[in-house]
Amino acid sequence: MENLDAVKALITVMQSTSYPLDVRASAAEGLGYTGFTTAIDALDTVMKSTSYPLDVRVAAAKALGRAVGVATRK
């Protein structure tokens, strides 16, 4: 359960406008290492949405590729 709590916290940071862009992009990167379905869904949403800054969307896209790879190895 603790891992899912960490994933949810990273998703919140990635999606929040309260954090600097580099922090949000780093949160996206971190999500890419989890392989959790919740993380994959959030990364996909951010990547596809033009309401998020480009830096965060690019980080989400890169992380999504990694997350899918991690998920298939589980």
The pLDDT tens digits for 11-69 are 999 999 999 999 999 999 999 999 899 999 999 999 999 999 999 999 999 999 999 87
Domains and CATH numbers, the chain: 2-73 (1.25.10.10)
Residue 1 has pLDDT above 60, yes or no: no
pLDDT at 68: 83
Give me the sign of the Cα torsion angle 13, 18, 23, 28: positive
Residue 74 has pLDDT above 70, yes or no: no
C-alpha to C-alpha distance for 49 and 46, rounded to whole angstroms: 5
**CA nearest 42: which of 1, 5, 66, 14?**
14
Q: Is 55 left (phi over 0), alpha (psi -120 to 50) or beta?
A: alpha
pTM of the entire structure? Answer: 0.90
Residue 73 has pLDDT above 90, yes or no: no
